[in-house]
């Protein structure tokens, strides 16, 4: 069965369009080839006639009419010649030559005539041929005709036309075959993408588009689709993890909140006991609201919609503001606080989200740094290929290198920190804010402690 679906594809239509343009250009070239070839043959015929006329003119000048007639008779006797000669009386009666009658044709202003030969001299059985000649009127009213049988020229032109026609047909055939092959190849790859897409739509999120490693547009499309699917799968996995983590982390505080309220309701107590129970319920509610607020901030950062509100933000001004807020808390906890601002870099971003990310890093640093320790908030300008950087360093226990990727996931908390307050969303928010701003989140050893840096991309010249 013919594959009519292929004929309806855009690829085949584009190939057909290019084939049409190619055929038009080939047709123009073939017409020019025929035009110049036919013109060359015609000029060659005229040049041959002119050479014959020059020779006969010299014979007539030396030997007059009798000598001309003798030469014409001799040249006409040559077998299968294509040159035509005729000398005639003033009444056009033939005297010598290889034509039986004077042609019935009116000469143009230059003396050229075109006529048909009833009996071709080069064919024993005769035949009607076209001829081209020049006529002269000699002194005394005698007439001279010198011409050429154009049968060879016509045959050559016919062969050229046939060759050009075959070339055109061959071009059409090869072009159509090439268009079909190209369309089939492209459609094979597109069908593979469509099959994979249908599998993904049916729930096989692990499937990916096949990449032929040719570097063409389809490979780029497949690569972009695979990157999109990786992101979608990452988000889906993250959503499942968030759902499981929310269900797990919220069950305990909600159960504890309900138990305390139920006990308070069942066991009648004093006003102070009721007040204490209400305060504990408010604390649990605040903790729940904090979790939801952090999740909302992470979702807003990962959505990327806030990039439209980006503006120039001074990292040094932001660092000074955060230092003013957290330095008293550090002193109260018996910690040293150092603000190390080496430059005044400007980045594009959302100041509120950046401040929240830095606040989360400072909260973690203050929370996990032991007494007599030190927290450092540093700002550095671009250096080489590295852009502006803001970092928070502490002298706490740090995070093992093998676990630095996992702590960026939502609700993930290390065993050593499970007894301390927190919900495991702080670094997740910092990571989401970093990715929103195109920054790189780096975690390194501080010997002792941890240093977390946000390295921003280099900005162009102002």
Instruction: Average the pLDDT over each of 183-187, 209-213, 281-285 and give the range with the smallest value.
Output: 183-187
As given in the structure block, the two tokens for residue 115 are 């006529």
Reported residue count of the chain is 462
Cis peptide bond upstream of 74, omega within 30 = no
Q: What pLDDT digit, counting tens, does each position of 210-267 carry?
A: 887 777 777 788 888 888 888 777 777 766 666 665 665 667 677 777 777 777 777 7
Q: What pLDDT digit, counting tens, does each position of 396-446 carry?
A: 888 888 888 877 776 565 544 444 555 567 788 888 888 888 889 999 998
Average pLDDT over the chain, rounded to an integer: 79
Closest CA to 148 of 4, 261, 267, 45: 45
User: pLDDT at residue 2 above 60?
Assistant: no
Cis peptide bond upstream of 448, omega within 30 = yes
Quick one: DSSP state of residue 456?
Answer: P
CB 337 within 8 A of CB 325: no
Determine the pLDDT at residue 241.
62
Instruction: Average the pLDDT over each of 16-20, 315-319, 408-412 and give the range with the smallest value.
Output: 408-412
The whole-angstrom separation of Cα 41 and Cα 340 is 92
Residue with tokens 């094979």: 188
Instruction: Average the pLDDT over each of 14-18, 147-151, 162-166, 194-198 and give the range with the smallest value.
Output: 14-18
CB 85 within 8 A of CB 99: yes
Please list the alpha-helical segments (H only) found in 77-122: none
Mean pLDDT in residue range 4-25? 69
Residue with tokens 């007439």: 143
Q: What is the four-CA torsion angle of 133, 137, 138, 140, rounded to 10 degrees?
A: 150
CB 389 within 8 A of CB 380: yes
The whole-angstrom separation of Cα 428 and Cα 393 is 18
Q: What Å distances lie between residue 271 and 180, 268, 276, 278, 280, CA to CA? A: 88, 9, 9, 10, 14
Closest CA to 446 of 399, 395, 405: 395
Closest CA to 435 of 279, 328, 301, 333: 301
Determine the pLDDT at residue 181.
75
As given in the structure block, the two tokens for residue 177 are 């075959």
């Amino acid at each position: 069965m013919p594959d009519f679906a292929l004929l309806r594809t855009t690829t085949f239509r584009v190939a057909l369009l290019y084939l049409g343009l190619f055929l038009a250009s080939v047709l123009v070239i073939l017409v020019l080839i025929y035009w110049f070839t036919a013109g060359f043959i015609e000029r060659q015929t005229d040049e041959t006639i002119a050479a014959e006329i020059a020779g006969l003119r010299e014979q007539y000048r030396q030997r007059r009419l009798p000598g001309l007639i003798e030469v014409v008779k001799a040249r006409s006797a040559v077998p299968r010649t294509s040159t035509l000669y005729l000398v005639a009386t003033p009444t056009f009666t033939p005297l010598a030559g290889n034509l039986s009658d004077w042609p019935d044709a009116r000469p143009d202003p230059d003396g050229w005539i075109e006529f048909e030969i009833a009996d071709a001299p080069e064919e024993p059985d005769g035949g009607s041929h076209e001829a081209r000649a020049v006529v002269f009127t000699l002194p005394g009213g005698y007439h001279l005709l010198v011409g050429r049988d154009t049968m060879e020229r016509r045959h050559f032109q016919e062969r050229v036309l046939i060759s050009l026609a075959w070339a055109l047909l061959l071009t059409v055939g090869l072009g159509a075959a090439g268009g079909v092959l190209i369309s089939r190849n492209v459609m094979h790859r597109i069908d593979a993408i469509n099959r994979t897409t249908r599998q993904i739509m049916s729930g096989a999120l692990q499937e990916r588009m096949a990449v032929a490693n040719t570097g063409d547009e389809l490979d780029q499309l497949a690569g972009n689709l695979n990157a999109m699917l990786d992101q979608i799968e990452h988000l889906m996995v993250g959503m499942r993890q968030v759902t499981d983590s929310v269900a797990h982390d919220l069950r305990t505080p909600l159960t504890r909140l309900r138990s305390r309220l139920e006990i308070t309701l069942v066991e009648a107590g004093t006003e102070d006991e009721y007040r204490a129970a209400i305060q504990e319920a408010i604390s649990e509610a605040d903790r729940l609201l904090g979790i939801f607020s952090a999740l909302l901030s992470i979702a807003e950062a990962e959505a990327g919609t806030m990039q439209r509100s980006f503006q120039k933000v001074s990292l040094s001004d932001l660092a000074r503001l955060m230092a003013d807020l957290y330095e008293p808390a550090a002193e109260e906890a018996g910690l040293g606080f150092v603000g190390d601002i080496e430059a005044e870099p400007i980045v594009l971003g959302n100041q509120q989200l950046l401040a929240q990310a830095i606040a989360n890093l400072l909260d973690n640093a203050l929370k996990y740094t032991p007494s007599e320790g030190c927290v450092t908030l540093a700002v550095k300008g671009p250096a080489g290929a590295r852009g502006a950087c803001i970092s928070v360093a502490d002298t706490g226990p740090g995070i093992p290198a093998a676990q630095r990727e996992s702590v960026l996931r939502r609700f993930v908390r290390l065993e050593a920190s499970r007894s301390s307050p927190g919900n495991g969303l702080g670094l997740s928010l910092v990571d989401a804010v970093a990715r929103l701003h195109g920054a790189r989140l780096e975690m390194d050893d501080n010997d002792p402690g941890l240093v977390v840096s946000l390295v921003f991309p280099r900005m162009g010249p102002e």
